[in-house]
Structure formats: structure tokens, C-alpha cells
Amino acid sequence: MSDALIEGYARALFEVARAEATLDEVEDELFRFARSYESSDALRNALTDEHVPAEKRQAIVEDLLGGKATATTTQLVSMVVGSGRSRDLPAIVDSLVQRASSAKQLDVAEVRTAVPLTEDQRVRLRAALENSTGKSLNLKVIVDPAVLGGVVAAIGDTVIDDTVRTRIDQLQSRL
């Protein structure tokens, strides 16, 4: 899909979420769903299989998100999947997050941890990152068991990595 088309979808999702006054929540849910989509081969295969009818793929989305996400999020994802743009869902969501952050004059900070952060930790982590980078940040936390432990934060081109996975990789390189 072209960048213009991705931007078009992202703008449409953004406008819907903003009109519904659930932008923050929808943005966060879409972000987490996009990361789950990226990390799960089964989900990706199910949603991109062209032999599976669009209605069935939409039903999968509704089963996954129903009751766990807002209705707006579920409908937006279902719309993207129903239009056959499942492969571009992460890019569309990233563009949406970027657009939302820009609207709030924030930079996106993508944080990965092995275990979920508490709300207090989220607040303190955002504050610490803002203090470190000098930017106002829209914190997006992804729970990724692959990091094993610790935290890695990516703000634009800046990456602050203090994960167990990276240390093990460094140790392996030294060995």
C-alpha cells in the first residue's frame, strides 16, 4: 500500500476517534493490537488470508477485541480488516499514533518491557524520559517477553536499551 493510502486510513481512524472523543483510549488500544498483530504469526495469517471471507476475518477481530477494547477500536480494526488492508494495519496504526501525538504536540516513546508497568511506573518512566530527552512524550508501552527483563525505550532515532536480552546478546558477542 502506498504511503498516501496509509496516511489516508490513519487520518480517517484519527478523525473517527477524535469525533468519538476516545482518541487516547483508541490510540492506545490500536497500538497494542498492532503490536500483537506483528508478534503473532497465527493472527497475522488469519487476518491476511485472502481465502478467508472478509466477514469471517471481521468476526475474528470482534471475537478478539469484543469486551476488551472500546467499540470504536473494534469497529475501526474491523473496518481495516474488512477492506483487505490487514497487512498495513501496523503502519496505519503507527501513522495514527504519530498523528495523535503531533496533534497533542508530543513525541512517541515506544517502551518495551517483559512485564506490564504499573500506572505509577508509567508516569515516572514518562517523566524520566521527558527529563532525559527534553521532549514531551506520548508513552506507548508494549509487553514483550522477548526482552526477558529491563526496559528499552525508543524515541524517534534515540534508543535507550537496558534489557536483559541485550546484555545476553552482548555477552554472546564477546564470547
Partner 1 sequence: MSLLATASLVLTRAFPASEEVPFDDAGYHTEHWLFAPTWETIIASAASIIVFTAIYKFAGPTIKKAMSDRTAGIQAELDDSAAAKSDAEAEAVRIRQAKGDIDSERSRLYAEADAQATALLADGRERLDAEMAELEVRADAEIASAADRSADELRAEIARYSSDAVELIAQDALDDATQQELIESFISRVGASS
User: Would you tell me which residues interact with partner 1 (CB under 8 A)?
Assistant: 113-115, 117, 121, 124-125, 127-129, 131-132, 134, 148-151, 153, 160, 162, 164, 168, 171-172, 175
DSSP letter at 135 equals S
Q: In the chain, which residue ranges form alpha helices assigned H by DSSP? A: 3-19, 23-39, 41-48, 54-65, 71-82, 89-103, 119-133, 164-174
Residue 40: CB minimum distance to partner 1, A? 21
Residue 140: CB minimum distance to partner 1, A? 16
Closer residue to partner 1 in complex, CB, 95/113 = 113
Cell 524515541, residue? 155
Residue 149: CB minimum distance to partner 1, A? 4
Q: Which residues contact 102 (CB under 8 A, 6 or more apart)?
A: none
Closer residue to partner 1 in complex, CB, 94/107 = 107
Cell 564477546, residue? 174
Closer residue to partner 1 in complex, CB, 2/131 = 131
